[in-house]
């Protein structure tokens, strides 16, 4: 890989993003579909049920799937337009090789030849520099079967420790915090518990835009009388309909959680019996929060003391409650501490493991939950097993038919893989459904690092922004072109059903991975004929682990509209609500409901620290980044769907009227936001729904429209999630219009 082989416009001309529209068969109301397929939306972690209408091997539309209990037919704007990603002019129908002689930078190459080239390059690099010189990066949009296969492929076929996934940018702080406190990384409750809560606490979650169907649960809870508390630096749509908004300064969430716990203890709003009977570590946490008086909490968080007192009283006095959070507190260099602070509030209240008493992170990616359970993480083996644990290694090695000593040790996180590429420690990369040039922070560094690769192969269904730099592109599969399972935000394992065949020479991703293994002459363990066969092995590999899928079958999923893990036997119906009194788990073995040998949950002191880069004299504003409802993550799909692009064609900078006045900015004018790493010029939206000391930019775009030119690569020391939600910037009226025009 080197710099772009031709000008970006020439690549765009051929590979897009172009916009799909409703045309032809899709517009004809008289068309009778060949079949109607019950499946799920391909985008966010809600995984709403949907029925796809199929004619002539093309998805021509959708119908609601009213029976699916999570969304009961409801869909958001992305869900109702998701069918337009199929039969798209940009769909990759062939393998391609980098070709400077081609005006578009790439020439089609027969699939088998492309696979041979990939195998030759892997072999060459590994012979020259060692097995660890080749890395893989995969995605949390893949089915769980594929994520399982990617973890196995890295360890058994490539024999490299360097594999990780883009869930590293999404849910890992919540996962690490949940494991430290509960011993297990999964939403504790089904969403139906939200409806029975007296108080719903939402921290750092733009629910209405990023998890739209969850909004319906929150609103139903409110109809039932619940008080809704929202903590966010922006008045997001859910914030506009809440009972109490706490407009926190970005990066100060631990202070608020500690301040609330301080008031709970002071006012006796804690459940002593639960704390004594089911937890350890409370006293240490109680003394740590003594200093978090309302005055100090208000000073650090920027929230008025009155709001803090009101929130503590509602939360403290409630009989039932549901606390949820998302990337707003997790995308932080102290994301795990934020999560632990939230969990301390839940544990002190004793409101968990019962009907209407819940806690969850709202996963972002489509398979955000399942994608972090079965081994594509750098330190993990299937069933949420630990790659550093000799017993876990021995069990999984026995399933895979290899010597445990042959399994590599733990690797490093996705960003550290990029740093290793920059240091020439990794020379080759395979990526699948991962677009790091858009999605990683400080992405000018990422691009420069990736340019050092000797060989880069990208597997995807569209030419994503990073794949433009690839040596070989392999045409993978869209969600509707394959079957398999995914884990939803609730922890519900559901089944994606195949609607159409892959077009052209495109293949299901698991076939591509196996083809590479065979071309490398390392076929052992890569002879599956279907996702079902992969799933059957995954069930065995997960057996006895925390995420035990051994009792889940495709048929049980269909029969029950999903199965919540753990599900350790054929007779078991699954576990919708974790931590119920008397519940069994493979770690506590009956000693208590939490996943530790003594069955008790852990309080953990949540230590406050300032953001890695705070506003200062040179860069006096805080930038926070996030999503808009019409786009999804790095935009590989949604920037190609016409009606979604019509809804939000370009990124923008949200600015409070006070700040706009100070800088002489008006609605619609262009401004340049600049951090220590890069600058971006975008149109200004003057809104009263943001703190005056903070600006917001959505991150779904590439090139010079990418918000991640500005963000900082500081990471949480435990979860290694990057700090997307705060960095220091300055803002000024733009002198010149941006260089690049739509689309990109």
Please report, as ranges, the residues that interact with ligand SF4 according to CB under 6 A. 41, 43-44, 46-48, 75-76, 78-79, 212-213
Nearer to ligand SF4, 98 or 327 (CB): 327
Spatial separation of the C-alpha atoms in residues 19 and 228, rounded to whole Å: 39
Nearest CB to ligand SF4, comparing residues 161 and 212? 212
| d(C-alpha 503, C-alpha 112), whole Å | 16
CB-wise, 44 or 140, nearer to ligand SF4? 44
Q: Pick between residue 48 and residue 346 the one whose CB is nearest to ligand SF4.
A: 48
Beta bridge partners of 602: 280
* Axis crossing angle, helix 294-301 with helix 305-317, rounded to the nearest 10: 120
In the complex, the smallest distance separating the C-beta of residue 59 from ligand SF4, rounded to whole angstroms, is 15
Alpha helices in 130-252 (DSSP H): 144-152, 172-182, 207-210, 212-223, 237-240
CB of 193 to ligand SF4, least distance (A): 19
Query: Least distance in Å: CB of 124 to ligand SF4?
Result: 41
Q: Which of residues 75 and 172 has its CB atom nearest to ligand SF4 in the complex?
A: 75
CB of 49 to ligand SF4, least distance (A): 9
Closest CA to 236 of 676, 698, 732, 733: 698
Return the number of the residue (76 or 115) whose C-beta is nearest ligand SF4: 76
Residue 78 or 691 with smaller CB distance to ligand SF4 = 78
HEC profile of 343-359: HHHHHHHCCCCECCEEE
**Which of 78, 539 has the CB closer to ligand SF4?**
78
**CB of 373 within 8 A of CB of 288?**
no
C-beta of residue 358 within 8 angstroms of C-beta of residue 194? yes
Whichever of 78 and 420 has its CB closer to ligand SF4, that residue is 78
Cβ 492 vs Cβ 70: under 8 Å: yes
For 46-57, give the DSSP string. Answer: T--EEEEEEETT
Kindly state the smallest distance separating residue 47's Cβ from ligand SF4, in Å: 5
Q: How many CA atoms lie within 13 A of 404 on its CB side?
A: 13
Q: Is 451 left (phi over 0), alpha (psi -120 to 50) or beta?
A: alpha
* Smallest distance, ligand SF4 to C-beta of residue 349, A: 29
Query: Which phi and psi angles does 7 have, rounded to 5°?
Result: -60, 145
Q: How far apart are CA 685 and CA 652, in angstroms?
A: 7
CB of 474 to ligand SF4, least distance (A): 26
What is the rounded distance in angstroms from the CA atom of residue 619 to the CA atom of residue 728? 5
Q: How far apart are CA 83 and CA 740, in angstroms?
A: 29
Distance in angstroms (rounded) separating the CA atoms of residues 47 and 69: 11
Least gap, CB of 367 to ligand SF4 (angstroms): 11
SS3 call for 477: coil
Task: State phi, psi for 356 to the nearest 5 degrees.
Answer: 75, 5
179 or 631, CB closer to ligand SF4?
631
CB nearer to ligand SF4: give 202 or 255: 202
Which residue has the CB atom at the shortest distance from ligand SF4? 79
Q: Residue 644 CB, nearest distance to ligand SF4 (Å)? A: 10
Q: How far is the CB of 135 from ligand SF4 (least distance, A)?
A: 30
Question: Least CB distance from residue 46 to ligand SF4, whole Å?
Answer: 4
Instruction: State the CB neighbour count (10 A cutoff) for residue 668.
Output: 10
Provide the token pair at 663: 């800088």
Q: How far apart are CA 466 and CA 621, in angstroms?
A: 30
């Amino acid at each position: 890989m080197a710099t772009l082989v031709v000008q970006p416009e020439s690549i765009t001309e051929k590979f897009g993003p172009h916009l799909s529209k409703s045309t032809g068969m899709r517009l004809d109301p008289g068309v009778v579909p060949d079949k109607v397929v019950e499946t799920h939306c391909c985008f966010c972690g809600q995984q709403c049920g949907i029925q796809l209408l199929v004619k002539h091997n093309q998805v021509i539309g959708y119908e609601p799937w009213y029976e699916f209990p999570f969304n009961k037919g409801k869909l958001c704007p992305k869900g109702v337009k998701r069918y337009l990603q199929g039969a798209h002019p940009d769909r990759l129908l062939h393998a391609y090789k980098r070709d400077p002689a081609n005006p578009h930078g790439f020439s089609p190459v027969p699939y088998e030849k492309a696979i041979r080239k990939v195998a030759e390059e892997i072999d060459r690099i590994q012979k020259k520099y060692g097995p660890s010189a080749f890395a893989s990066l995969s995605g949390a949009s893949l089915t769980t079967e594929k994520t399982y296969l990617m973890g196995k492929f890295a360890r058994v076929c490539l024999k490299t420790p360097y594999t990780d996934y883009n869930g590293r940018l999404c849910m890992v702080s919540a996962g690490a915090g949940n494991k430290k406190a509960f011993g297990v990384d999964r939403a504790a409750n089904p969403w139906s518990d939200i409806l029975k809560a007296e108080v719903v606490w939402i921290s750092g979650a733009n629910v209405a835009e990023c998890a739209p169907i969850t909004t319906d649960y929150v609103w139903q809870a409110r109809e039932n009388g619940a008080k809704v508390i929202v903590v966010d630096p922006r008045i997001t749509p859910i914030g506009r309909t809440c009972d109490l908004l706490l407009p926190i300064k970005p990066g100060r969430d631990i202070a608020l959680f500690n301040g609330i716990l301080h008031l709970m203890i002071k006012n006796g709003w804690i459940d002593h019996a639960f704390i004594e009977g089911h937890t350890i570590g409370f006293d240490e946490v109680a003394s740590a929060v003594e200093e978090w008086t309302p005055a100090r909490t208000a000073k650090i968080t920027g929230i008025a003391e009155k709001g803090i007192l009101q929130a503590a009283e509602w939360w403290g006095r409630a009989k039932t409650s549901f606390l949820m959070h998302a990337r707003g507190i997790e995308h932080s260099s102290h994301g795990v501490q934020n999560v632990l602070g939230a969990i301390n509030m839940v544990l002190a209240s004793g409101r968990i493991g019962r009907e209407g008493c819940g806690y969850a992170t709202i996963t972002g990616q489509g398979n955000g939950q399942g994608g972090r359970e079965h081994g594509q993480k750098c330190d993990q083996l299937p069933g949420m097993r630990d790659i550093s644990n000799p017993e876990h290694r021995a069990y999984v090695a026995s399933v895979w038919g290899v010597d445990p000593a042959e399994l590599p040790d733990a690797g490093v996180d996705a960003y550290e893989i990029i740093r290793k590429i920059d240091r020439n420690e990794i020379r080759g990369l395979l990526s699948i459904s991962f677009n790091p040039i858009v999605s990683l922070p400080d992405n000018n560094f990422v691009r420069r690092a990736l340019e050092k690769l000797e060989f880069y192969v990208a597997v995807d269904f569209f030419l994503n922004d990073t794949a433009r730099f690839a040596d070989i592109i392999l045409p993978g599969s869209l969600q509707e072109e394959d079957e398999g399972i995914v884990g939803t935000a609730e922890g519900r394992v559901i089944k994606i059903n195949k609607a159409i065949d892959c077009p052209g020479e495109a293949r299901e991703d698991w076939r591509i991975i196996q083809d590479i293994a065979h071309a490398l002459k390392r076929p052992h363990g890569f002879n599956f004929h279907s996702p079902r066969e992969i799933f059957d092995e995954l069930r065995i590999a997960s057996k006895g682990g925390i995420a035990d899928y051994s009792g889940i079958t495709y048929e049980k999923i269909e029969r029950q509209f999903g199965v919540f893990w753990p599900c350790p036997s054929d007779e078991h119906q699954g576990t919708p609500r974790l931590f119920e009194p008397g519940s069994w788990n493979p770690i506590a073995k009956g000693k208590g409901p939490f996943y530790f040998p003594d069955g008790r949950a852990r309080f953990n002191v949540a230590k406050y620290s300032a953001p890695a880069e705070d506003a200062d004299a040179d860069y006096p504003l805080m930038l926070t980044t996030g999503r808009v409802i019409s786009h999804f993550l790095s935009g590989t799909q949604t920037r190609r769907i016409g009606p979604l692009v019509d809804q939000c064609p370009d990124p923008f900078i949200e600015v409070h009227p006070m700040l706009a006045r100070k800088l002489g900015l008006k609605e619609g004018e262009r401004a340049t936001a600049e951090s220590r790493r890069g600058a971006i010029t975008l149109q200004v939206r003057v809104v009263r729904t943001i703190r005056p000391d903070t600006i917001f930019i959505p991150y779904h775009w590439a090139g010079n429209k990418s918000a991640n030119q500005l963000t900082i690569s500081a990471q949480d020391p435990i979860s290694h999630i990057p700090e997307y939600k705060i960095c220091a910037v300055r803002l000024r009226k733009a002198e010149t219009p941006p260089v690049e025009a739509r689309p990109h």
